Structure 1
Amino acid sequence: MADTALPGVRVKVRFAGQDVDGFVLGRGSETDHTGPLAPLRRVVSPEPVLHPQVARLAGDLAERYAGTRSDVLRLAIPNRHATTEKEPSAPSGPWRHDAAAGETAWAGHEPGPAFLRHLASGGSPRGVWAAAPATDWPLLVAHAAAATYASGRGVVVCVPDGKDVARVDRALTAVLGADQHVTLTADSGPAQRYRDFLAVSRGARRVVVGTRAAAFAPVHDLGLVVVWDDGDDLHAEPRAPYPHTRETLLLRAEHEGAAALVGGFVRTVEAAYLLRTGWAQPIGPAREEVRRRVTVSIAGEETSRDVHARAARMPREVHLAIRDAVADGPVLVQTPRLGYATALACERCRTPARCAACRGPLALTGPTTPPACRWCGVVADAWACAECGHRGLRAPVLGDARTAEELGRALPGVRVRTSSGDGVLATVSAARQVVVATPGAEPVAEGGYAAVVLLDTWLLLSRIDLRAGEEALRRWANAVGLVRPGGRVVAVGDPAHPALQALVRWDAAGYADRETAERVEAHLPPASRLATIAGEPGAVDDALTLLAAPTSAEVLGPVDVAEGESRVVVRVPRAEGAALSLALGELQRVRSARKLDAVRIQVDPPTL
């Protein structure tokens, strides 16, 4: 096996009485292991799939997130497809690079053109980019990739979901030409995914766009990493050790000396902290550019003066804005809830309507269906309020289906479409129509939307979450970003709320700075490092007993989060974050060796 057992190949090793999968990390003539060594059983494939830079990244991520290297490698390297592995990877064809077109595209975001020139000259600038509304951000990302590619280096672009991958894919094809990049997504299928992975591993392709797993793509001579919309929860890996795409790419950029671009229509607190520490520099539009592109107003000002308008979910100003804008093109209406009437209450006393069988919430699934329980499905056609005996129902929270129904009645002759749940639309035409979508499911309109309406803003702001305001602003800004230049945006909500004020001013940077300052004062991330330990109460208590945390660690809890499950939060200053991760990793190893009850350890959870 001397000719095939090379660093990076897959092998089989006898371990604990069975053959297990492994990778060759290196070969040497000496070892620091004092016991006997086990021989390799066989080389599965001579194809090197674990490159040194990815192996180092996996080790560092496992240490940072208190996990194991094998768990990280499971996320980084796709399953082998033997037939595909025997096929050669086709080389890339001729490519093009129009530096002038790139600087023109980035002209509204300063110092965007200088950032491109730095990339093209082989430099490694690091920027936090707040995109202006009505920006074709995939095109700008493609030009940044082209500038890096022109310097002879590779690029990794990570976006939240498949819709965004498709947009960047089209932009890269338009800027670089065909067959210059690959897309890495879970929807590609095992054969195509492994084929694209091998094309990158063999150096046939050096530009990659994909979702979370693309952050580990073994790109040769990496020159730029890009993460778009880093506040999206899809960037948080749901499997252990739960690494975040942003942290993975930034760590990789640090290891390989690559440039970094953290972009979005808003600036997250973590991105603002990169600017606060001087690790990156800001890139964004001038105030005049924002005013030229969009006008944002709040319809809540009318409701504050008119007592009758307060009960209206869509004030008159909203109906007028939709009616006027739909004459020029499509209109987007964002509503936070999926379904028809997702919550019901007594019409007289406002007591929430509950199921008589299981006490679950009642809901309506359509205009002609009787109320039914969302938990057990029992129909409650004879419901009466337990408090006042009244039989009338009202819907304090309406879903996208009911919203579309109301707009269809108010706008006869105008097509009303929905995009949510299993029926998400990727794109819509420039025809006269109204699109009702839930956050994250907004389709891209050809030429942009003539107007965007944001309903029920209070619902996103009422989440019991550390990031409620930041997440609400991010979802609103992503919808506003789809408007056409010169379009109009109307939000329905409290005009005094800081998040809505930031939206009206398009000042996501100022809002992020404010949130960062408040978290620094409260010793919350990113100014501190948090870890949660969750599991059965006895297992959590045992874990706390075994944890050799730094002396500066503060333990919050335990608290009951569900039946039979408790959770503690361990907090340390940011400078002690590495020590906390090491202590948690050692805790995991001790518990595994002693075969104690499992606990879930998560470092820097995306939300609490």
Structure 2
Amino acid sequence: MPARYARVVVDSRLPQLDRLFEYRVPPGMEGVGPGVRVRVPLRGDRLATGWVVEVADARAWEGEVADIEQVVSAVPVLQPEVWALARAVADRAAGGAADVLRVAIPGRQARVEKQWLAGERAALPTLPELPESAAVLPGLVADRRRVAMECAGGVVEVAGGAEAGEDGPQWIGRWAVALAALVRQALERGEQAIVVVPDHRDQRQLRLALATAVGAERVVELDARQKNPERYRGFLRCLEGEPLAIIGPRSAVYAPAARLGLLVVWEDGDPLLAEPLSPWVHARDAALVRQAQTGCALVIAGHARSSDAERLVELGFLEHERVGAHRRRVLPTALADDGRRVPAAAFRAASEALAERPVLVQVARPGHAPGLRCGDCGTRARCAACGGPLGRRSRGAAPSCRLCGRLAAGWQCPSCHGTALTEVGRGSTRIAEELGRAFPGVPVVVADGDHERLRVDGRPRLVIATRGAEPIADGGYGAVILLDGDTLLAREGLRVGEEAVRQWATATALAADGATIVLAGVAGIAVTALTGDTTVPFAKAELAERRALRFPPAVRTASVVGHPDAVAEALEALGEVEHLDVLGPVPAEGARDGDLERAIARFAYADGARVAGIARGRVLAEATRPRKPSAPARLRIRFDDPEPFEGL
């Protein structure tokens, strides 16, 4: 039998191992094929896990070739389209393909895998009849269009399903119904669809909408919140090639789908869609790469237009679409002269709405008192262990750190040695107490990180929620009061205004048609974004300002962090790129005695591939330099890094 050779990508974080290694398939070893997991030798007796990318009868490497040690699993978990995507995404960000595959492919569950291999594939039921209320973009999937979709708010009722023990109808956002209708188009053509959402709250709404539009049997969820066997079982279903709706958070963009007809990214401006691990690729950018490779329909949708999506529209890459209509009355108000936290207009709107419906009050911070100061000298109270700010979770509770959670009983001011603490600001529980006294007899519900609520019924009540934790109300809220707008906009950062508009638009989308929206303590262009019919003018203005300043997303950036010598050499190499300019270098945050510097390289999107190639070369050169095993890497380059712009 002639020898066969497998080319393997090794699961390693080392940049010098980011390439295909060739191994001989030992005689008699079965199950070695593209996509399977294997164990292969590295140096000496070290073994590493990897994935077979291709198998050939001829050798490509002239040197010594080792044998594959073991076939871990004969299931081809690395599909060709996922490998192509991982390689392209990693190259775009000057990172390693194995880092992307680690996110894309869940850990093996042997028992689940054995059941899947032995199981018979039951035929999927026919698609259910689509409700007339579903919003559809005609021909989107068939024409392979690329769309920036702005979804009007409001909630609708869908058919019941097993949801927390309830079998009755459920209320969800109109956006979920609209996206479910688009998914239905893809599945009708025998194709697959992937929908990427920021968190489990959006995922729940989408799951309910899809259960009505395509049937629960055709919905696969891929989510790190799932138990490992459940997630792996869903991943294996995607390998079957059936017309399925695949939904999940940012990692779902890498789901195996050989016949991908539709790819949707919901609320691409949400920070949760930015990957926190190397190579730090945003789900929107991965979706753009995948669309270019597959030619599928691409939808970037949200209640508010992001500046990144607006750039793609102005380039002609995406088409603008607006779906649905949402009638509401927006009342922007300045803070009351008497210092009241809740303006009089908000009290009137809440009083009128509480006669029939619940009222949503969005606040900036959880807990009772978000901040504490020394009662004698006014110094900000901070944790003695980590330096984080102290606050109180509830009235009378001991102060605790908002970062590490450590209690700070017996706190003493480092400036004046005083022990008295003064509360600063109002959190969700404190505002709930105040509004409870203002509206006696009205039930008050708190929804924040410590009190999760996914939905409330349609009876009159006050719902005090932090941003992103607002529950769905049956029938929609009769009024939405957006507090702490001044606090939200007072933060420093390049995307503060854009993020505020997105969070306000998300909250107002939960209101019933004709509801009153009160925006407290805000003026300027951010108000016009909410009071108008569309947020597109605001996104255009944001993008125009970024172009004038050469800030993202008008240009791409790469942060270069490391030892001063390594940073200087990297910047010298990057200087070969025309029109690339550099901000810095400056001492990096946390640097001691100038041992760490950071610079920011700005360049055009067209130069991205060249810049990434040079950057990868410098990282590889630094990684292969002799150094102590415990010494940190001398150079790190991160593309599209938002951190340097958060304090602008």
Which residue of 2 is the match for residue 109 of structure 1?
Answer: none
1:562 alignment partner, SS class: coil
2:144 counterpart of 1:124 = yes
| 1:344 Cα deviation from its structure 2 partner | 3.9
2:619 alignment partner, SS class: helix
Amino acid at match of 1:181: V
| 1:30 Cα deviation from its structure 2 partner | 3.6
Q: 1:399 to 1:546 in 2, by over 3 A?
A: same
**Equivalent of 2:63 in 32, 35, 41:** 35
Q: 1:5 to 1:466 in 2, by over 3 A?
A: same
Q: 1:428 to 1:39 in 2, by over 3 A?
A: same
CA distance in 1, matches of 2:103, 2:390: 40
**Equivalent of 2:331 in 282, 297, 304:** 297
**1:146-225 matches, cutoff 5 A:** 146-204=184-242, 206-225=244-263
| 1:7 Cα deviation from its structure 2 partner | 0.8
2:383–2:390 contact (8 Å) kept in structure 1: no
Task: Give deviations 1:405-464, integer Å, cap 9, x for gaps.
Answer: 111111111111111113221111111111111111111111111111100101111221
Which residue of 1 is the match for residue 161 of structure 2?
Answer: none
Amino acid at match of 2:331: S
Q: 1:490 to 1:44 in 2, by over 3 A?
A: same
2:216 alignment partner, SS class: coil
**1:573-588 matches, cutoff 5 A:** 573-588=604-619
Identity across the alignment (%): 35
1:179 alignment partner, SS class: helix
Which residue of 2 is the match for residue 527 of structure 1?
Answer: 554
Task: Give deviations 1:80-101, integer Å, cap 9, x for gaps.
Answer: 11111111364352122546x4
Q: 1:406 to 1:592 in 2, by over 3 A?
A: same
Which residue of 1 is the match for residue 291 of structure 2?
Answer: 253
Q: 1:381 to 1:323 in 2, by over 3 A?
A: farther
Which residue of 2 is the match for residue 569 of structure 1?
Answer: 600
Task: Give deviations 1:120-141, integer Å, cap 9, x for gaps.
Answer: xx32111111111215111111
Q: 1:595 to 1:207 in 2, by over 3 A?
A: farther
Which residue of 1 is the match for residue 7 of structure 2?
Answer: none
1:577 alignment partner, SS class: helix
Which residue of 1 is the match for residue 512 of structure 2?
Answer: 484
Q: 1:547 to 1:36 in 2, by over 3 A?
A: farther
CA distance in 2, matches of 1:513, 1:471: 15
| 1:561 Cα deviation from its structure 2 partner | 4.3
**Equivalent of 2:107 in 61, 79, 83:** 79
Q: 1:595 to 1:428 in 2, by over 3 A?
A: farther
**Equivalent of 1:460 in 485, 488, 491:** 488
**Structure 1: segments with no counterpart, 5+ residues:** 107-112
| 1:5 Cα deviation from its structure 2 partner | 1.0
Which residue of 2 is the match for residue 550 of structure 1?
Answer: 577
Once structures 1 and 2 are overlaid, which stretch shifts more, 226-235 or 581-590? 581-590
Amino acid at match of 2:637: I
**Equivalent of 1:67 in 95, 101, 105:** 95
CA distance in 1, matches of 2:588, 2:534: 36
2:40–2:47 contact (8 Å) kept in structure 1: yes
2:437 counterpart of 1:409 = yes
Which residue of 1 is the match for residue 545 of structure 2?
Answer: 518
Amino acid at match of 2:638: Q
Amino acid at match of 1:16: R
2:530 counterpart of 1:503 = yes
CA distance in 2, matches of 1:377, 1:563: 25
Amino acid at match of 2:134: A
Which residue of 2 is the match for residue 591 of structure 1?
Answer: 622
**Equivalent of 2:369 in 341, 344, 354:** 341
More helix, by proportion: 1
Which residue of 1 is the match for residue 315 of structure 2?
Answer: 277
**Structure 2: segments with no counterpart, 5+ residues:** 1-27, 155-172
Which residue of 1 is the match for residue 158 of structure 2?
Answer: none
1:428–1:445 contact (8 Å) kept in structure 2: yes
Q: 1:91 to 1:262 in 2, by over 3 A?
A: farther
1:160–1:229 contact (8 Å) kept in structure 2: yes
**Equivalent of 2:343 in 312, 315, 321:** 315
Q: Give the number of equivalent residue pairs.
A: 583
Which residue of 1 is the match for residue 13 of structure 2?
Answer: none
Amino acid at match of 1:518: E
**TM-score, with structure 1 as normaliser:** 0.89
| Aligned Cα root-mean-square deviation (Å) | 2.8
Task: Give deviations 1:332-368, integer Å, cap 9, x for gaps.
Answer: 111111211122458899x454469798755444333
1:233–1:606 contact (8 Å) kept in structure 2: no
1:461–1:468 contact (8 Å) kept in structure 2: yes
CA distance in 1, matches of 2:560, 2:518: 43
**TM-score, with structure 2 as normaliser:** 0.84
1:49 alignment partner, SS class: coil
CA distance in 1, matches of 2:412, 2:40: 66
**1:383-422 matches, cutoff 5 A:** 393=422, 395=424, 397-422=425-450
2:327 counterpart of 1:327 = no
| 1:32 Cα deviation from its structure 2 partner | 4.1
1:295–1:489 contact (8 Å) kept in structure 2: yes
Which residue of 1 is the match for residue 3 of structure 2?
Answer: none
| 1:369 Cα deviation from its structure 2 partner | 4.3
Q: 1:519 to 1:105 in 2, by over 3 A?
A: same
1:163 alignment partner, SS class: helix
1:295–1:488 contact (8 Å) kept in structure 2: yes
2:42 counterpart of 1:15 = yes
| 1:38 Cα deviation from its structure 2 partner | 2.2
Q: 1:518 to 1:34 in 2, by over 3 A?
A: farther
1:270 alignment partner, SS class: helix
2:370–2:427 contact (8 Å) kept in structure 1: yes
Q: 1:373 to 1:75 in 2, by over 3 A?
A: closer
**Equivalent of 1:96 in 119, 123, 127:** 127
1:516 alignment partner, SS class: helix
| 1:68 Cα deviation from its structure 2 partner | 0.6
Q: 1:600 to 1:334 in 2, by over 3 A?
A: farther
Amino acid at match of 1:298: P
**1:40-55 matches, cutoff 5 A:** 40-55=68-83
Task: Give deviations 1:455-513, integer Å, cap 9, x for gaps.
Answer: 01011112211101000111111111111111111010133x21122111143111111
Amino acid at match of 1:295: R
CA distance in 1, matches of 2:333, 2:540: 27
Q: 1:96 to 1:377 in 2, by over 3 A?
A: closer
| 1:543 Cα deviation from its structure 2 partner | 4.5
Q: 1:75 to 1:285 in 2, by over 3 A?
A: closer
Q: 1:365 to 1:209 in 2, by over 3 A?
A: closer
1:92–1:179 contact (8 Å) kept in structure 2: no
Which residue of 2 is the match for residue 602 of structure 1?
Answer: 638
CA distance in 1, matches of 2:64, 2:382: 65
2:69 alignment partner, SS class: strand
| 1:548 Cα deviation from its structure 2 partner | 6.6
CA distance in 1, matches of 2:401, 2:215: 54
Task: Give deviations 1:357-412, integer Å, cap 9, x for gaps.
Answer: 7987554443334767768754468979969x9979463x2111111111111111
Q: 1:70 to 1:175 in 2, by over 3 A?
A: same
Q: 1:12 to 1:415 in 2, by over 3 A?
A: same
CA distance in 2, matches of 1:501, 1:131: 18
CA distance in 2, matches of 1:421, 1:394: 20
**Equivalent of 2:500 in 468, 472, 495:** 472
